[in-house]
Structure formats: structure tokens, C-alpha cells
């Protein structure tokens, strides 16, 4: 039974130690995969006709936008004659797509083309988005169909438009017989809009279908949004039949913010010692962009990447001086098109007194799109706790000549000592004193006697005292002193009841700062 | 072989404990303590004096005649039993029969008393009865000082009985 218990105990101990090792962070033998986030495209669609000067502001980290525009659809004609055909259909608006450079924070103008007016009136308006350097995505509107079977509206043309991908809108059909002509289909994103045929509105692509031509005595049918041509009215029957407006154009902006995530073991509450030891990793994962090509192109950027990892602090032996300036380019590895891993080299000279905050800015030259990006989050390096005390009051006490068996205190002689916590962590102050030397020594004790003196300490300006118990034995004077705070220390010395000599005695009082 | 394996396991466990201790705690060390010192000085004071042997016999001395302890082995040895101090001396009148009064010059029933810290080379005159005269302005702690006294008898005396006087030695703070 004992043997089984012993074996079980060993088993638990060994596995406990191994697990502790794994999670202690050094040396790392368990590398959790970093979380890689996919870029999430944002889409904004504008459908209200009009000109919006500086109406759109590029969000942070957005350097390029795909602007899709649809021109307004043409209006349709009406029927004003009882003997002529119905009104003709309007043409569909064109479609354009174009990637346009923008600058985060800058504002840009877009135009949503108005619906074409009826009865051969104004054509559908052009839709556009204008980015940097006046580069634009412009899709033209379709023209409006005439009354009484006159000229049908034409689709917005690619010749008029300006973009990378361009498709023309479908043509409207002329009114015929007693019916109006159908409206043209707006251009699709992948094909030209379908032409209307007779009363049938244009269709067949992924554009917006044109409205149908109407029968005798029926007003024209408005074009659908975005950008479809209106259907013509039927022949007049009684009062004139009215034409209709085309569809309103549209502007659609699609963009992806370029971001960079900073992960790796540096984000796990690292300390000064971790940098000294080395081995911590910084993983930079970009989304919406990629690192420049592997090989010589990327290698040439490794130093720039190191230079971009910067401390908010400026200690002489801090990050900038000991890591940024000394890290070797071999530490920077292009793990994939979107991931770079930096394994920090040991930096023995790294020594900080306060927490450093490190920010990684990926240089523009290291990314394909050529835009610098700040990785998030930052990470902190915690300084080792420094417990330090400084006597700001000179560090000397002259009690002077004191009769035997008499107490004298610094609280009343101007020799109050001030101890300051000049470290970087909260401390406690303890005090000890030596025997009094020179001539025959006086021994420190809790009561005066022959060649025995007593020393007390006060942190209350002499209101209360604590007695030092023995030579070179610390007594806690103040249990918690915040960084930068001071404590006034007064000392009360009681001379021996008898002394073998009357020489001046020297005593060394030590104030110690340690962890509370 | 079984013993060797058991020893290996023991060493392995101990090794792992030490290693884990280093890993968990060793790399997170802090600069643990700092000290600052204050230097203090103090000097005890105590006023104490003793005289040896404390008795002087000038013997029979003719009128208006000086006699000194410097030549008769009655030199008094004063010991400063305390801290550094000033040494003072005073004398009462000489009693016994008709009193002789202490004065700075001898006269009828008036005697003169002088003190020397230089074995009789130089003397200082006591000015009046029971009035201290500083014999030494700085007498070191625990050291001795020889005092000699020169006594000058009156020029005339009402009687010729033996006279007694008390000399007091005092130490005072510097």
C-alpha cells in the first residue's frame, strides 16, 4: 500500500512540475498558435440623388476604396395622342467599378445620379465618386424616352463613363401600337444591361430590370433603383397618359481597413528579465495587405521593421538603446504573406527602472500597398522591482553632550532624518543601529545600564517611539511607503546610567527599504 | 540495477524541483533591498572628582611666612572621574581659636592661600573666603591633576593654636 502511495505521489509531483514548467513561459515548449484575423470588408451604399461634396470620409487605416457607380435611369414618354403609340421607354444607367486611392481621414465627394425625367426630359444623372488626384469612378445615366412612340431612351454608355470595369445600360424600346415601350435594364456588375423589347423591360443580367411598357390608358411605369429605365405609358385614352421617371443612380463603396495585429509571447506580461534572457516573440499579422515578397525584397526591410518597434520611454539602457539598436535582422522572419515573426535575441544590457510601452509600426516599405500601419495592441515590459531608500536630510545626527542616564531626541534638536522611497515599488522602511563605538563601547539594549544605551525611533515627530531591541536588529518603522513618498524619522537616545569613559561615541543607524 | 533506477528517479525529481524553482522564480528576481545609513554621535557627560589624599599638614609656620605642599610631600592629586571639565578650588577661613580670614595678602589674623598646577612654579591666589578660583579650565576626563597649595601665615595672630581650613575642589561643565 505504501509503495502504491509513493508511486502515486511521484507521479503527481512529476506531472505537476512539468505543467508548471510549461506554463511558466520559459523555456517555451508549448507554442499556442497565434490568432489570425481575416480582413472584414466594409460596404457603404448611397442611394439618395444629389451631389455630396466631401460627403464621405475615409476611415482609419483605409487607403483604397472600390467605388461602384450606377447612372440614373432614363424617364419614359407619355401618350398624348389617341392615334399614336404609347410613350417610349427610358434607357438604363451604366455601371462602373474602380479602385481608388484615398487617405484615412480625408473627405471625398460623391454624386448619386438623379432619375431621368419623363417625356424626353433630362437624362438620368451620372453617378460618381472622386478620390485622390481627382481619380473617379463615373457611370453615366440613360436618356429618357420620347412621347407617343418617339425616340426610345438609350442606355448610359461606357464611352461617357470612367472606370476600370464598365458596362453600358440597356436601351429602352419605342412605344408601338397602343402600348408603351419597356425601359432598359441598368447595367449589371458583370454585363451590359439588357435592352427592352416591345413592352418588356430590359432584363437578363444582374442589373436592375427595366419597367414594362404600359397598355392603352395607363401611365408610364417608373424605373426601379438603381438606374433602370422607366416603361412608357400606353396610348392616350381620355386625358393624356403620363410618362414616368427613371430609377435613381447609386454609389457603393467597398473598402477594407489595413490592420496589423501584434501577438506573440511578448504580450504575456513580460518583464525586464525576459528581454535579458531573450526568446520572446513578436508576431505581426497584417490584414488587408501583405508583406513584400519573400527573399531579397523582404530581407531588405527587416532592419526597417526592427526600427519601427519603438519604446515610449527613453531610458539609457531601455528598449530603444538595447533592443531596437542591437537586434539582429536574422531575428525577423517572414512566416507567411501576412505574418512576420520576430524572436528577440538576449540583450544582457537591458535594464530599466520603469515599465516600458512598446509600439510596433510596420514601415510602408515592408508592405505591398505601401502604407505604414501601427500594429495593435502595444505591449509592456515591466521593470524589476527596485527597492531603494535615500536619506534626504544629510544623514548625520549630533546628539551632543548628554548627561548619563538622560534621553535626548532629534525631534527637538533639528536632526530629524527624512527617508525617501526612491525606488519604483512600494516598500517598508526598517531601522537598525549598531553599538556605540569609540572608547569603551556602549551596547544597544532596551534599557540603559552601565555602558548600555537605549535607542528609540519615531515616525510621529516624537509623539510615540519604538525601541530598537538589540544591536543590528531591524525594527519596522513604516510598513508601507509608496514610491516617492518620504518618512520623517526621529531618534531618541538614552545615555547609559554609567560609562567607562566619556569619549564621543559613534553609532551607525541603517535604514532599509524592502518589499512590504 | 533496480537501485540505480530508483536513485535516478530521486535525482530526477530533485532536479526538476530545482529547475522549476529557477524557472518560476529565478527569472523574476527583483533588486530586493536597499539601505541608507545615518551617522550619529553622542558624548556622555558626568561631573565627578576625587582627591587623594585629601589631607595637608603645613605644620608650625612662623608668622608672615609662606609654606607650600610642593616641598613637603602633601601635593594633592585630583582625579576627574567624569567627563572633561573645568577644575575649581575654594577655601574656607582657618578656624580653631581666633579665626584667620582668607585674604589676598597676609595681615593680622589674615592668611593667604595660593594654588599651583605646576608643582610650585606658578601660583594663583584665592581671592576670598569660599570663592572658587579656576585652577584648570579644561581637565580631561579620567585624568589626574596635581594641586599644590602655598599657605602664608598672618603677620600677627591673636592666638597660636592649630588652625584648620577646608579646601574644596570642584569640576564644572565646559
Q: Which residues contact B130 (CB under 8 A, 6 or more apart)?
A: B90, B91, B92
Is B33 close to A514, i.e. CB distance below 8 A?
yes
> Among all residues of chain A, which has the CA nearest to that of B29?
A384
- For B164, which DSSP code? B
B17 → chain A, closest CA residue? A17
**B13:A417 CB<8 A:** no
pLDDT in the model for residue A255: 94
> How many other CB atoms are there within 10 angstroms of residue A482's CB atom?
9
Q: Is the pLDDT score of A11 beyond 80?
A: no
The mean pLDDT of A340-364, rounded to a whole number, is 96
Query: A491 vs B42: CB contact, 8 Å cut-off?
Result: no
Q: Which of A14, A404, A511 sits opposite B36 (nearest CB)?
A: A511
| B38 neighbourhood in chain A, CB within 8 Å | 391, 395-397, 417, 489, 491, 508-511
Q: Which of B44, B142, B174 is best to mutate for the A interface (most A CBs within 10 A)?
A: B44
Buried b (16+ CB within 10 A) or exposed e, B19-53: ebeebbeebbebeeebebebebebbbbbbebebee
Q: How many residue contacts between A and B have a Cβ separation below 8 Å? A: 159
- Read off the pLDDT of each residue in A30-38 and give the average, rounded to a whole number: 43
**Distance separating alpha carbons of residues A507 and A496, to the nearest angstrom:** 14
B34:A401 CB<8 A:
no
What count of other Cβ atoms lies within 10 Å of the Cβ of residue A346?
11
Per-residue pLDDT, B142:
93
Nearest CA in chain B to A421: B34
A175 or A10, which is more confident: A175
For chain B, what is the mean pLDDT? 87
pLDDT per position as a tens digit, A297-316: 999 999 999 999 999 999 99
Q: What is the C-alpha separation between A33 and A464, in angstroms, rounded?
A: 60
B35 → closest Cβ in A384, A389, A403: A389
| pLDDT > 90? residue B28 | no
A352 touching chain B per CB within 8 A: no
Residue B63: CB atoms within 10 A of its CB come to: 13
Which of A33-42, A163-172, A175-184, A244-253 has the least mean pLDDT?
A: A33-42
Q: Which residues of A touch B45 (CB under 8 A)?
A: 401-404, 502
Does the pLDDT of residue A438 top 90, yes or no?
yes
pLDDT of residue A424: 85
pLDDT band at B18 (very low <50, low <70, confident <90, very high): very low
Chain A positions touching B44 (Cβ under 8 A) are 401-404, 495-496, 499, 502, 505
Residue in A396, A436, A513 closest to B34 by CB? A513
Q: Which CATH topology does B49-173 take?
A: Immunoglobulin-like (2.60.40)
Q: What is the CA B46 to chain-centroid distance, rounded? A: 8
Please answer yes or no on whether B32 and A515 come within 8 Å at the CB atom.
Answer: yes
The domain locations on chain A are 36-257, 259-382, 389-514
> Tell me: the pLDDT tens digits for A195-213?
999 999 999 999 999 999 9
Give DSSP secondary structure letters for A104-151: TT-EEEEEEPPPPPSTT-SPPPPEEEE-GGG-EEEEPPPPPPPSTT-P
User: How does the average pLDDT of chain A come out, rounded?
Assistant: 93
Of A275, A502, A504, A505, which to mutate for an interface test with B (greatest number of B Cβ within 10 Å)? A502
> In this complex, do B41 and A21 lie within 8 Å of one another by their Cβ atoms?
no
Nearest CA to A397 among A500, A511, A512?
A511
B118 CB contacts (<8 Å, ≥6 apart)?
A: none
Minimal CA–CA distance to A453: which of A440, A461, A462, B136? A440
Decide if pLDDT at B30 tops 50. no
Asked if the Cβ–Cβ distance from A502 to B142 is below 8 Å, we say: yes
Whole-number Cα distances in Å, B131 to B62, B103, B134 = 26, 11, 10
Distance from CA of B82 to the nearest CA of A (A): 7
Cα–Cα dist A444/A491, whole Å:
13
Closest alpha carbon within chain A to B35: A512
Considering CB atoms only, which of B24, B44, B84 is closest to A404?
Answer: B44
Query: Which CATH number is associated with domain A259-382?
Result: 2.60.40
Q: Is the peptide bond before A198 cis (omega within 30 degrees of 0)?
A: no
How large is the ipTM?
0.74
Examine residue A260 and say whether the peptide bond preceding it is cis (omega within 30 degrees of 0). no
Q: Which residues of B touch A439 (CB under 8 A)?
A: none
Find the range with the poorest average confidence among A119-128, A214-223, A423-432, B11-20: B11-20
pLDDT, mean of residues A106-127: 96
CB contact under 8 A, A401 and B44: yes
Given a cut of 90, is residue B33 above it in pLDDT? Answer: no
Calculate the alpha carbon distances from A31 to A19, A102, A399 in Å.
14, 39, 64
Distance from CA of A34 to the nearest CA of B (A): 24
Query: What number is the average pLDDT over the span A40-53?
Result: 94
Between B6 and A50, the more confident residue is: A50
- Each domain of chain B, given as residue ranges in start order, spans 1-32, 49-173
Contact list in B for residue A493 (CB cut-off 8 A) is 40, 42
Q: Tell me which residue in A389, A506, A513 faces B41 most closely, judged by beta carbons.
A: A506
pLDDT for the residue numbered A9: 66
Peptide bond into A377 cis (omega under 30): yes
Q: Is the pLDDT of residue A2 over 70?
A: no
Q: Average pLDDT, stretch B64-91?
A: 95
Q: What percent of chain A has pLDDT over 90?
A: 86
Q: Which of B37, B42, B138, B174 to mutate to test the interface with A (most CBs of A within 10 A)?
A: B42
Nearest-by-Cβ selection for B41 from A273, A398, A425? A398
CB atoms B34 and A387 under 8 Å: yes
Over range B59-73, report the average pLDDT: 93
Q: What is the pLDDT of residue B31?
A: 52
Does A425 touch chain B if contact means CB atoms closer than 8 Å?
A: yes
Query: In angstroms, what separates the C-alpha of A464 from chain B's closest C-alpha?
Result: 20
- Secondary structure (3-state) at A460: coil
CA distance A90 to A182: 8
- Span A389-514 CATH architecture: Sandwich (2.60)
Amino acid A223: pLDDT: 97
pLDDT at A139 > cutoff 50: yes
Q: Taking CB atoms and an 8 Å cutoff, what residues of chain B touch A274?
A: 27
Specify the pLDDT at position A31: 42
A502/B19 touch (CB, cutoff 8 Å), yes or no: no
| Chain A residues with CB-CB distance to B19 below 8 A | 21
Q: Chain A 204-243, CB below 8 Å of chain B: which residues?
A: none
Min distance B22 CA to chain A CA atoms (Å): 10
A508 touches chain B (CB under 8 A): yes
Topology alike, domains A259-382 and A389-514: yes
Instruction: Quote the DSSP letter at residue A292.
Output: P
Amino acid at each position: 500500500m505504501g509503495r502504491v502511495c509513493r508511486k502515486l505521489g511521484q507521479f503527481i509531483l512529476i506531472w505537476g512540475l512539468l505543467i508548471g514548467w510549461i506554463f511558466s513561459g520559459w523555456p517555451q515548449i508549448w507554442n499556442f498558435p497565434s490568432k489570425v484575423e481575416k480582413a472584414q470588408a466594409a460596404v457603404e451604399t448611397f442611394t439618395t440623388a444629389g451631389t455630396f461634396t466631401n460627403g464621405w470620409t475615409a476611415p482609419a487605416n483605409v487607403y483604397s476604396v472600390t467605388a461602384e457607380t450606377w447612372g440614373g435611369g432614363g424617364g419614359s414618354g407619355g401618350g398624348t395622342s389617341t392615334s399614336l403609340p404609347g410613350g417610349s421607354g427610358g434607357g438604363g444607367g451604366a455601371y462602373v467599378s474602380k479602385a481608388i486611392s484615398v487617405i484615412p481621414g480625408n473627405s471625398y465627394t460623391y454624386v448619386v445620379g438623379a432619375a431621368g425625367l419623363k417625356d424626353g426630359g433630362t437624362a438620368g444623372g451620372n453617378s460618381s465618386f472622386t478620390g485622390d488626384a481627382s481619380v473617379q469612378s463615373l457611370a453615366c445615366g440613360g436618356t429618357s424616352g420620347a412621347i407617343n412612340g418617339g425616340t426610345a431612351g438609350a442606355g448610359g454608355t461606357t464611352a461617357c463613363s470612367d472606370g476600370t470595369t464598365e458596362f453600358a445600360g440597356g436601351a429602352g424600346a419605342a412605344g408601338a401600337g397602343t402600348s408603351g415601350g419597356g425601359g432598359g435594364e441598368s447595367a449589371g456588375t458583370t454585363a451590359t444591361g439588357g435592352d427592352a423589347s416591345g413592352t418588356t423591360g430590359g432584363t437578363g443580367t444582374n442589373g436592375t430590370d427595366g419597367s414594362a411598357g404600359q397598355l392603352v390608358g395607363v401611365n408610364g411605369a417608373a424605373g426601379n433603383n438603381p438606374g433602370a429605365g422607366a416603361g412608357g405609358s400606353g396610348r392616350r385614352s381620355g386625358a393624356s397618359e403620363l410618362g414616368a421617371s427613371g430609377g435613381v443612380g447609386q454609389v457603393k463603396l467597398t473598402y477594407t481597413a489595413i490592420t496589423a495585429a501584434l501577438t506573440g509571447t511578448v504580450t504575456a506580461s513580460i518583464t525586464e528579465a525576459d528581454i535579458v534572457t531573450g526568446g520572446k516573440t513578436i508576431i505581426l499579422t497584417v490584414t488587408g495587405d501583405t508583406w513584400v515578397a519573400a527573399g531579397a525584397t523582404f530581407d531588405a526591410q527587416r532592419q526597417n521593421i526592427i526600427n519601427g518597434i519603438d519604446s515610449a520611454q527613453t531610458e539609457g539602457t531601455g528598449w530603444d538603446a538595447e533592443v531596437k539598436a542591437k537586434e539582429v535582422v536574422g531575428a525577423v522572419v517572414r512566416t507567411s504573406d501576412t505574418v512576420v515573426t520576430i524572436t528577440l535575441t538576449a540583450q544582457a544590457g537591458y535594464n530599466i527602472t520603469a515599465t516600458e510601452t512598446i509600439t510596433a509600426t510596420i514601415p510602408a516599405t515592408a508592405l505591398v500597398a505601401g502604407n505604414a500601419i501601427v500594429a495593435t495592441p502595444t505591449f509592456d515590459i515591466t521593470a524589476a522591482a527596485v527597492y531603494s531608500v535615500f536619506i534626504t536630510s544629510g544623514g548625520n545626527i549630533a546628539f551632543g553632550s548628554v548627561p548619563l542616564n538622560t534621553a535626548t531626541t532629534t525631534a527637538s534638536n533639528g536632526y530629524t532624518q527624512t527617508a525617501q522611497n526612491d525606488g519604483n515599488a512600494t516598500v517598508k522602511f526598517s531601522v537598525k543601529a549598531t553599538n556605540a563605538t569609540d572608547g569603551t563601547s556602549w551596547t544597544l539594549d532596551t534599557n540603559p545600564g552601565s555602558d548600555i544605551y537605549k535607542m528609540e525611533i519615531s515616525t510621529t515627530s516624537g509623539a510615540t517611539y519604538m525601541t530598537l531591541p538589540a544591536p543590528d536588529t531591524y525594527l519596522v518603522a513604516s510598513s508601507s511607503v509608496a514610491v516617492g513618498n518620504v518618512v520623517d524619522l526621529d531618534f531618541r537616545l538614552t545615555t547609559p546610567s554609567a560609562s567607562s569613559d566619556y569619549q564621543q561615541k559613534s553609532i551607525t543607524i541603517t535604514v532599509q527599504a524592502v518589499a512590504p | 540495477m533496480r537501485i540505480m533506477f530508483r536513485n535516478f528517479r530521486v535525482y530526477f525529481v530533485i532536479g526538476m524541483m530545482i529547475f522549476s524553482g529557477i524557472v518560476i522564480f529565478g527569472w523574476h528576481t527583483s533588486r530586493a533591498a536597499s539601505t541608507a545609513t545615518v551617522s550619529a554621535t553622542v558624548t556622555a557627560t558626568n561631573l565627578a572628582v576625587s582627591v587623594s589624599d585629601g589631607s595637608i599638614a603645613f605644620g608650625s609656620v612662623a608668622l608672615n611666612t609662606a609654606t607650600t605642599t610642593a616641598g613637603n610631600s602633601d601635593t594633592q592629586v585630583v582625579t576627574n572621574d567624569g567627563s572633561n571639565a573645568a577644575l575649581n578650588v575654594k577655601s574656607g577661613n582657618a578656624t580653631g581659636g581666633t579665626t584667620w580670614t582668607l585674604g589676598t595678602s597676609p595681615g593680622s589674623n589674615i592668611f593667604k592661600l595660593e594654588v599651583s598646577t605646576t608643582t610650585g612654579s606658578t601660583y594663583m591666589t584665592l581671592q576670598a573666603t569660599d570663592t572658587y578660583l579656576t585652577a584648570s579650565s579644561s581637565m580631561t576626563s579620567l585624568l589626574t591633576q596635581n594641586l599644590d597649595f602655598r599657605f602664608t601665615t598672618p603677620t600677627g595672630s591673636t592666638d597660636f593654636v592649630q588652625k584648620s581650613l577646608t579646601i574644596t575642589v570642584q569640576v564644572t561643565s565646559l
